[in-house]
Structure formats: C-alpha cells, structure tokens
Amino acid sequence: MKLAVFVSDLTLTNDILSRLKKDNLGIILVQNGVYHATNKVDGKTSALLDQAPKIYALSEDIQIRGMKDSDVDSRVKVVDYGGLVDVIFNEFDKLAWF
C-alpha cells in the first residue's frame, strides 16, 4: 500500500512520519507545509525531505507565499492543482493529513 501524507504546517518535528515505511510513503506539501521545500535553518534543509522518496509541493501555495518554483529543493516535484489530482489518483492508494 502506498500512502500519501499531506503536510500543511511548518512544524519541524516529524515523529509520526519517521514511524512509517519510507519506501511506500509520499509527502505532499500544501499551505504552510511548502516552507519545508524552500527554507533552510542554520544552512540545513528540512529533515522532512529525507522522510520519503517522493515529495510534491503545490505550486499555487509556493507562489502565494511570495516564493518561486525555482526556490524549491531539487528533491521536491512542484505540481499545480491538476497535477496534484493526477498524483493522488495515479501514485497512491491511501491519503492522510498531518
């Protein structure tokens, strides 16, 4: 079973995600969660980016916060709403929201 987890907050703890099987996990960054894909703290990227092999960020949420898609870490694929729907239906069996 492949699980997609929506992350909508910039909390730097990822206790729940660390308990899930990494190879069957995808992360979808939305709302303030997109900061995980762009921000660095003390020169380090968010540890969340190491939690899953597939990570997506919603382009509209990046842009509304004054950032550009080019500001996103290379491990993160930027998708628009239509692309997000495709990812949800084609890549994952279950969805969760943290």
pLDDT digits (tens, 9 = 90+) for 42-82: 778 888 898 899 999 999 999 999 999 889 999 999 999 99
Alpha-carbon separation of residue 83 from 28, 30, 41, 66 (angstroms): 12, 13, 29, 21
Tell me the C-alpha distance between 2 and 91, whole Å: 7
Is the whole-model pTM more than 0.85?
A: yes
Q: Over 90: is that where the pLDDT of 83 sits?
A: yes
Q: What is the CATH number of the domain that holds 77?
A: 3.40.1260.10
Specify the amino acid at residue 52.
A
Report pLDDT for 12. 56
Instruction: Indicate whether 52 belongs to any domain.
Output: yes
Question: How many domains in the chain?
Answer: 1
Q: How confident is the model at residue 13 (pLDDT cuts 50, 70, 90)?
A: low
User: Higher confidence at residue 47 or residue 13?
Assistant: 47
Q: What is the DSSP letter of 85?
A: H
Of 29, 32, 19, 6, the residue nearest 98 (C-alpha): 6
Q: How far apart are CA 76 and CA 28, in angstroms?
A: 9
Residue 25 domain-assigned (yes or no): no
- Has residue 12 been placed in a domain? no
pLDDT value of position 14: 63
Q: What is the mean pLDDT of the chain?
A: 89
User: What range defines the domain where residue 55 resides?
Assistant: 3-7+31-97
